């Protein structure tokens, strides 16, 4: 793994699209692109954590100019190799602090990527960075899961989310610090391989405070991209914060 790529180096990038195949399904990508294209209208979009272009490429095909920021050169190389990969501008860097020229109609973070920032300070910086890139009236969109602490009985710290014949996956939570990690045990040629990726889980109300610190205000919150109402039973949310106009 290239050290500058963080936890998404060549060994992860090589199989990322295949391992996340369900997230590339048209019924998953389509509603996200529809909403983002609507929010962008006639303006450009900025994706934090653009990765292999799961959302950026179809959004660009809709006529929305898209620029991405990502720390992983290996992931971006996969984006570049895809049809239309040269239409998405990419800046290599930490999306919590990296600035790019211009202002945008919409900036967005999808698929729990806000949790890749493993401190509250970094997540606050991310909101400030998003706000600094937005034109007045622009929106910052985040898709992220609701922390599943209700699944933890007293004394338990792990929640399994995949059990298969050759792979087991589980999240480990530290409720005192909001640190968590996703852990994968995979059987390869009869031997077990372990991979762990650190995250920081964050609550919807906490995100709203981060937005306020960045001069943004909550406009909408739904359970998903199809705008199903968000409730106490929702396991994820798509939230839209707006930068006040002039």
Coil, helix or strand at residue 3: helix
pLDDT score at 2: 36
What does the pLDDT read at residue 245?
A: 85
Structure tokens at 240: 């839209």
Joined together, the tokens standing for residue 170 give 């589980």
The tokens describing 235, both together, are 């396991």
In angstroms, the CA 212 to CA 205 distance is: 11
- Tally of CA atoms within 13 A in the half-sphere of 101 that contains its CB: 1
Containing 106, the helix (H) or strand (E) segment is: strand 104-109
Tell which residue, 27, 63, 18, 31, has the closest CA to residue 45. 63
Give, in order, the Cα–Cα distances in Å from 49 to each of 34, 46, 226: 19, 10, 22
Q: Is 76 within 8 Å of 88 (Cβ atoms)?
A: no
Q: Which residues contact 160 (CB under 8 A, 6 or more apart)?
A: 168, 169, 170
Question: Tell me, what's the pLDDT at 53?
Answer: 95
If we measure between CA atoms, which residue out of 244, 245, 240 comes closest to residue 38?
Answer: 240
pLDDT by residue for the chain (246 residues), tens only, comes to 334 566 665 566 555 455 565 765 888 999 999 999 999 998 999 999 999 999 999 999 999 999 999 999 999 999 999 999 999 999 999 999 999 999 999 999 999 999 999 999 999 999 999 999 999 999 999 999 999 999 999 999 999 999 999 999 999 999 999 999 999 999 999 999 999 999 999 999 999 999 999 999 999 999 999 999 999 999 999 999 999 987
CA dist 105 to 41, 141, 211, 245, Å? Answer: 8, 11, 16, 12
Given this model, what pLDDT does residue 10 score?
A: 59
Q: Helices in the chain by DSSP H: which ranges?
A: 10-13, 16-19, 26-40, 56-61, 73-81, 120-133, 204-213
């Amino acid at each position: 793994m290239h050290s500058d790529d963080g936890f998404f180096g060549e060994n992860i990038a090589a199989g990322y699209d295949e391992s996340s195949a369900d997230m590339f399904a048209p019924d998953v990508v389509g509603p996200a692109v529809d909403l983002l294209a609507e929010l962008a209208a006639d303006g450009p979009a900025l994706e934090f954590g653009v990765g292999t272009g799961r959302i950026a490429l179809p959004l660009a095909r809709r006529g929305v100019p898209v620029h991405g920021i990502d720390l992983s050169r290996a992931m971006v190389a996969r984006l570049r190799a895809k049809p239309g990969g040269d239409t998405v501008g990419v800046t290599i860097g930490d999306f919590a602090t990296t600035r790019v020229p211009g202002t945008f109609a919409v900036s967005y973070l999808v698929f729990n990527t806000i949790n890749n920032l493993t401190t509250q300070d970094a997540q606050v910086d991310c909101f400030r960075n998003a706000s600094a890139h937005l034109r007045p009236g622009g929106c910052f969109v985040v898709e992220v899961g609701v922390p599943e602490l209700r699944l933890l009985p007293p004394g338990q710290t792990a929640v399994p989310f995949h059990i298969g014949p050759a792979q087991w996956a589980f999240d480990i939570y530290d409720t005192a610090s909001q640190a968590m990690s996703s852990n994968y045990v995979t059987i390869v040629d009869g031997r077990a391989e372990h991979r762990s990726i650190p995250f920081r889980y964050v609550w919807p109300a906490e995100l709203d405070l981060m937005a306020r610190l960045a001069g943004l205000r909550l406009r909408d919150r739904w359970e998903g991209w199809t705008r199903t109402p968000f409730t106490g039973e929702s396991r994820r949310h798509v939230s839209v914060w707006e930068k006040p106009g002039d």
